[in-house]
Structure 1
């Protein structure tokens, strides 16, 4: 059985990846926006390993922003079509849409900043909301700038992660922190969505009650 985690194997894989060219480095993060089960973090690490921290980061950032914005534009244009009605009718989606329309840039920016939050859901909700196209583009550009740079910086020297267990432990610890913080923010936003939705429902019931008196 070959040693998949040897420096020789890693070097060969990096050279093969680099040989595919920079467009491949952009294409994979782009596709992840349409196929969210693909591992964006792995693609980012592969890019910085093959092309270096700066160019690997640029390729990952450009591909991810372009893909996410493309999903946003597709949902904006076709999201309310009958074929995609199952998306717009989802109760959670409806609640998130209304909450985003009330709160705007801030919550989406926070979600985009963390690598383990549901970016596909964010793109869909933004596309179905009344958020302006330019606003969402800059939300993506700035949020993913932070997120992808952090992941790129952590994964820039993957050889050291193999040969230096202490550094590998620190990286795993940092990734765990990013995961927990991202999930905590996601959970907090979900609670605010539910609270805001209940508040709106109570206001509507009160107004109906007043109109009947």
Structure 2
């Protein structure tokens, strides 16, 4: 019990310090040029630094979209996706264990402040793995907080780990492609064409999984 309280207090202090020293700005789109120079300064170790940075950002509720786009700028679409997936998988795993170790009550209070996360918690109980797949594919759910919510459910870590790793790839690839395009030497016509395909892919990720989920929910209700 003492270890759990100590861990909880430490975690709260870290979050306060992050807000106090405006760490969120460091990982924001406004600061992306400086962040790019900072990571590149590590030379051959830049990918390792980036992966570690992304993992910590995931645990500490730092928005991951700017860093994901930056990965495409720094490493290209392919390797950018690889590094983001590795970093985010480490981060979501750590958040999962923190949520499971600290306990349901603390994370439930955090989720209770967000209506979508409260619905997500209920859906997990009712729909199991389906909502895990959808929440990883659809880039609308609050990504960082949902990792803690999964930790307080009955879902097995193995299922959570592999589903997270696999189904985060499509959205990650789209965002890193946007980053790679932003700093590419392509003509404007090609950039517009490729960006259009990426937007279509992003819309598909948002619409189709939700449609599938609604259809499955209707089938379940009709069978009751």
Q: Normalized against structure 2, the TM-score is what?
A: 0.62
- Change beyond 3 A, Cα 1:187–1:141: closer
Residues 68 and 176, structure 2, Cα contact 8 Å, conserved in 1: yes
Shift of 1:58: 1.9
Q: Which residue of 2 aligns with 1:19?
A: 41
**Distance in 2, Cα, partners of 1:78 & 1:11:** 37
**Of the candidates 126, 132, 148, which is equivalent to residue 124 of structure 1?**
148
Note the C-alpha offset of 1:109: 1.2
Partner of 2:57: 32
Give the counterpart of 2:171 among 147, 152, 163: 147
Corresponding residue to 2:130 among 89, 94, 106: 106
Judging changes above 3 Å, is the alpha-carbon distance between structure 1 residues 76 and 172 closer, same or farther for their aligned structure 2 residues?
Answer: same
**TM-superposed deviation, 1:77:** 1.4
| Shift, 1:108, TM fit | 1.7
Query: Aligned partners of 1:13, 1:31: CA distance in 2, in Å?
Result: 15
Q: Deviations over 1:119-176 (max 9, x none)?
A: 1243233222111111101111101122222333343343337x63233334544454
Deviates more, 1:135-144 or 1:100-109: 100-109
Show CA shifts across 1:94-120 (max 9, x none). 543232122222222122124443212
The number of aligned residues is: 186
8 Å contact 2:139–2:206 — kept in the other structure? no
Q: In terms of Rg, which structure is larger?
A: 1
Q: Does 1:76 align with 2:100?
A: yes
Identify unmatched segments of 5+ residues in structure 1: 1-9, 204-213
TM-score (norm 1): 0.65
What is the distance in 2 between the residues matched to 1:93 and 1:49? 31
Shift of the 71–118 alpha-carbon distance from structure 1 to 2, 3 Å rule, reads: same
CA–CA distance in structure 1, aligned partners of residues 197 and 180 of structure 2: 14
Partner of residue 29, structure 2: none
1:57 lines up with 2:57 in the alignment: no
Seen in structure 2, the aligned counterparts of structure 1 residues 30 and 150 have a Cα distance that, compared at 3 Å, is same
How far apart in 2 are the matches of 1:124 and 1:12? 30
Is the partner of 2:184 in helix, strand or coil?
A: helix
SS in 1 for 2:104: coil
Match of 1:168 among 184, 191, 216: 191
CA offsets per residue over residues 180-207 of structure 1, 9 Å max, x none?
Answer: 4555468769979x99xxx8xxx9xxxx
